[in-house]
Amino acid sequence: MASAILAAGVLLGWLAPHAMAASDTPTPPLPRAPRDPVAALYAEQCAVCHGDDLRGAAQGPPLVGVALRHGATVERIAAATAAGFPDRGMPAWSKALTGDQIRALAVYVSERRAGTTLADFRYAAPLAIPAGVIRSEQHAFRIETVATGLDPLPYALAVLPDGSFLVTEKMRGLRHVAADGRRSMRVRDTPAAYADALQLGGQAMGVGWILDVALHPDYGRNGWIYLSHGDRCSDCNAESRRTGQPVSMIRLLRGRLRGDAWVDQEVIWQSPRETYTAMFEIAAGGRIAFDGRGHVFLSIGMKGASDIADFQDLGRPSGKVLRLHDDGRVPRDNPFVGRDGALPEIWSYGHRSPQGLEVEPSSGDAWNT
């Protein structure tokens, strides 16, 4: 492989001297989904034996506060649930539940044993911007507000040569904010962004979102801006017709900015519609990176039929980092070119939620979080 995917953490600081209030109407409140669908599955299938609080009932032993006879790892809990213990009255749940449902229940039991719940992620905690100077090992810095009134899910930022910048708002679209912070306009004619998400524990879950934005390394000459988004459709493949739900898949575009309009759009990469799924885009990646050598990388995370589906399948796009020429052609030196059943654009695979992607300029290595 010509380059490597490495794991790292990234700290991004944004410092700006101006404050600005957006004039757009706020996104309407999102419809509510069940607080925790796995808890509902447990209540329906397991609580009668093990108790609503997992502390046991007349028909079954407790699952928390005690050692589990057959092991307490997620794998052991899932195996015991699937096989059951018919001689002790516990059926083999593999006959009634899918493998994904059984694993979800095992994770739920494990989390409850550890004393954690979905609420501990504090998705709905209010944003608190620290005042004064913040000191790290290497720098002293302060944080100032440059824009307010944005959608609660801004995802990416690209600074233009004139100091203005582009911001993607997942459920609204692409926004252009002036360098002095006094003007903020939605960019017209970009792909549609959809705000009909569900709320799960304070976190929005939806499909058809605007994701990353990045400037071509030679933007000053060619003006190309790259944009990734969840390309959404309804009644367009077998899954959408079976479920009656919209489906999507990450797509990579490029276009130019003319005033506050998106023009000259080109599709750089798009997967066949049959690979589109209803999996939420909360961990779908969509990050864009350039190596300065004519290649663009795109990450795609959880967009299979379940949270771990397709990651090891080289014939499916989910769970992959793709490498393309910046015009969308597949490089001939990609590692899986010529392999039967493999997508030639794949550069690396096995990524669950690749939400960060950068290329180290001197080595060309791609760093993925």
Is residue 138 situated within a structural domain? Answer: no
Is residue 223 situated within a structural domain? Answer: yes
**Dihedral sign for Cα atoms in the order 327, 285, 187, 178:** negative
82: Cα separation from own chain's centroid:
29
Identify the burial level of 242 via C-beta atoms within 10 angstroms of its C-beta, where 0-12 means exposed, 13-18 middle and 19 or more buried. exposed
Residue ranges of the chain with pLDDT lower than 50?
1-34
One domain for residues 279 and 321: yes
DSSP 8-state class, residue 120:
G
pLDDT in tens, 145-156: 888 778 777 899
Q: What is the pLDDT of residue 21?
A: 31
One domain for residues 99 and 171: no
DSSP 8-state class, residue 152:
S
**CATH code at position 235:** 2.120.10.30
One domain for residues 327 and 181: yes
Q: What is the pLDDT of residue 179?
A: 87
One domain for residues 72 and 207: no
Is residue 135 situated within a structural domain? Answer: no
Q: How far is CA 199 from CA 150, 210, 276, 350, in A?
A: 18, 18, 22, 28
One domain for residues 188 and 268: yes
Structural domain containing residue 251? 146-368
Q: What phi and psi, each to the nearest 5 degrees, are found at residue 118?
A: -55, -30
Q: Looking at 119, 134, 155, which one is the last position of a domain?
A: 119
Is residue 27 situated within a structural domain? Answer: no
The SS3 of residue 66 is: coil
One domain for residues 244 and 358: yes
Q: How far is Cα 305 from Cα 275, in angstroms, rounded to an integer?
A: 9
Residue appearing with tokens 């014939």: 315
One domain for residues 167 and 45: no
Q: What is the pLDDT of residue 141?
A: 95
One domain for residues 154 and 110: no
Q: What is the pLDDT of residue 24?
A: 45
Q: What is the pLDDT of residue 128?
A: 86
Q: How far is Cα 81 from Cα 103, in angstroms, rounded to an integer?
A: 9
End-to-end CA distance of the chain: 19
Is residue 12 situated within a structural domain? Answer: no
Is residue 8 situated within a structural domain? Answer: no
One domain for residues 229 and 287: yes
One domain for residues 113 and 216: no
Is residue 21 situated within a structural domain? Answer: no
- pTM value is 0.74
Is residue 158 situated within a structural domain? Answer: yes
One domain for residues 91 and 173: no
One domain for residues 157 and 114: no
Q: Looking at 100, 119, 138, which one is the last position of a domain?
A: 119
Strands (E), the chain: 5-7, 134-135, 140-141, 154-159, 165-169, 173-177, 184-186, 198-200, 203-205, 210-215, 225-233, 247-258, 261-269, 285-290, 295-300, 320-325, 346-349, 357-359, 366-368
Q: What is the pLDDT of residue 195?
A: 93
Q: How far is Cα 54 from Cα 68, in angstroms, rounded to an integer?
A: 12
Pairing state of beta strands 5-7 and 366-368?
parallel
pLDDT in tens, 3-18: 333 333 232 333 332 2
CB 349 within 8 A of CB 323: no
Residue appearing with tokens 């609660």: 152
Q: What is the pLDDT of residue 116?
A: 75
Q: Give me the numbers of helices (H) and strands (E) for the chain, helices first please.
A: 6, 19
Query: In the chain, how many domains are there?
Result: 2
**CATH code at position 114:** 1.10.760.10
Q: How far is CA 235 from CA 242, 247, 251, 365, in A?
A: 9, 9, 18, 40
Q: What is the pLDDT of residue 29?
A: 44
